[in-house]
Structure 1
Amino acid sequence: MAGVDLSRKALELLQDSVHDRGIDLVKLKDGKPADKTPATFGGAFPAAKPESTIFGDLADSAGLASAVDTIEHQVADELGAAKNHLDGVERALDLVRRNIRTADDASTVRDPS
């Protein structure tokens, strides 16, 4: 069944693409550059809370350091949530592929010879 074979291939390619995007998110969260990024890549999320002294003599440099820390943790949480969603999509695509294979196998008439 040519149509089923094309659908299988399309689902396989989609599942591979979803998997690759998940890997990209892990690299981003861990502060590792993907192959196409420049060598000057940031660190992992969340980074250690910055010292308030890096902001100089601001009236609320400790508050600014806390705000930066909060944002870093939110980015890390969002990256983790996105990775979890992509993992769920990948598992769902795998299930669809297995169900199509099972249905196709069950409906294929075998040559008795």
Structure 2
Amino acid sequence: MLNYRRLIVGEMGTNCYLVWAEDKTAIVIDPGDEGVEIAQIIDEMQLKPTAIMLTHGHFDHILGILDLQLIYKIPVAMGKKDAFLVDRARETAEYYLKRKIKTPKIKSLN
């Protein structure tokens, strides 16, 4: 059986989901911001994240990735058709949030 928990993160109020199996292996979906805080929740729940999945590449869905990658050394994947959005994430984040961001490396899936 799969379980999930919804987190609302970042200035944009993005929905982030933790989805895990009975053995506590988990994926993180759309870590929109606050990667360190997401990691604290993961650790408190004793989850073992194996990957980050993105529903699409808008900046407000990727801001927490770098922290999570540094902490857990896990890959990130998303649909190939949205890969171009990650390339534009810096500009859109600067426009909407008035701050500069670093964009993560993401593997595109078909």
TM-score by length of 1: 0.21
Bigger relative contact order, structure 1 or 2 (CA pairs below 8 A, ≥6 apart)? 1
Greater share of residues in helix: 1
Greater share of residues in strand: 2
